[in-house]
Structure 1
């Protein structure tokens, strides 16, 4: 039996594939490469020394999804596939709702058809909207601020309703905070399309000379240095969170949400300073106006994941910065490979 990983070629997906393979699981990867590269799958094989099945497909294509379940006995699904750029979601809301929500509906329908009841879902801390206080616990009110966040919240509600109608389902809703870093080998990491939406790939692309300077959105927040504070988590710790959640859903029934964060907040300028320290690279930056919808401070209370999943983020901010820089140094243009041999 195997674990299906949707979006397994992406940033979080590739690291999750590595950790599941290293833990002895057989995996099947499904990805449409809308924001990922085929080369990442080859790198996963190089890191782990293990092979796996792969389907290039979109979850909206039900026939292909059914083929995956027909061809392999699937024991559980780690559902990572989805569009994720907040600003793009504001300009293309229908595209995001159709892709993220409808794609999940197709997946769940096929899972029911084939009797697969174990699911780990990639949610987001954006479902908390503007929290009244920090740290943020899983029982806080939910209210997303943008179409991307609302798709995550809608899917969470759909999955809760699914469990109400079929109590044999076991579902973990993983609310990520801000994943950064890369595998210590430097072989896999974050390779966004176009100008990065997230802080760390923007910093590393400035460091490697692809971008002129970092744009810092707002320095007048009520924080220690005026810049926004976020909970940054190493992507390998995040991947290990999926492993622990997978173990949980395969051993019990129910639906539970878990914060995956460190419980510590760092400002934008603290990240810049730490990156400069560990990399030896100067990061010029320009202060711009705040972005609409951004909040001052956001960090997790991760105790529920510790108590129920046995998971704790172990890697610190220096390691996150160091591994991000190692990935970018080795891959200044991301997953650009000449004479690529298909896997």
Structure 2
């Protein structure tokens, strides 16, 4: 037997239980990872509440990213071997002592980082890279508006954009979070609770606007985001409220702008393979050289995932919350 964090019904963090489960055998194209650490994401909170659509065939349990050691490989896997230290983008099941994942969604653990740090970035790195690099095509010298500076995605997106030479404007909901963003080198850090991000963004860009926006708020910000876009700008929506809302098409037409809405978890494996390959090729070197530093707010034992969820739900965290395998448990 092995153990995993599961829940029988949607609810508050207390529904999470660390329980024994059957061992896993990897499929032909999969590897089995002995999990040392797993990242906690807002999507996990939504799934626990019953508010997140789980893709068909996803592994049971929460957890979209992990780091650990490969302990078994499927018969068709040739790029990995038992004992490799890796991190991985998951479709679920990361809150566990072991997880099976398609081999094409696995990356080598970057040199110079801990297992906890390695577990904190696969989901956010793949989200940021697939949207800002592959869809928006953000390049050096361009300007991007990143909402949610204090979150795992926001803190990573800021660092990635800065590392490729882009200028960053960001929003956050507290002075502590805007201060943390300034330490990462942003052009402007705007407290959305006390300031109008549209006027501040336009002022910071001399009225031109930004080339790309990464939005985690959704419907509430749609029209205001459009006002921030430069000609040929691209708005990418990756979360938040998806309630019906109106849109001023003239704002879109006048700017020759475009809007994308994406979810990473439900993408086909072939798309995830291309994203993971891009992150391995272009993002991991930035982590290994220190241009991107995994930002961790707190670490909890895997058996205390409920406490990790309680903390993340406060909205006070800066960076990622991570679960680590309980060191006192037999392996």
Which structure: greater strand fraction? 2
Which structure: greater helix fraction? 1
TM-score, normalised by the number of residues in structure 2: 0.35
TM-score, normalised by the number of residues in structure 1: 0.34
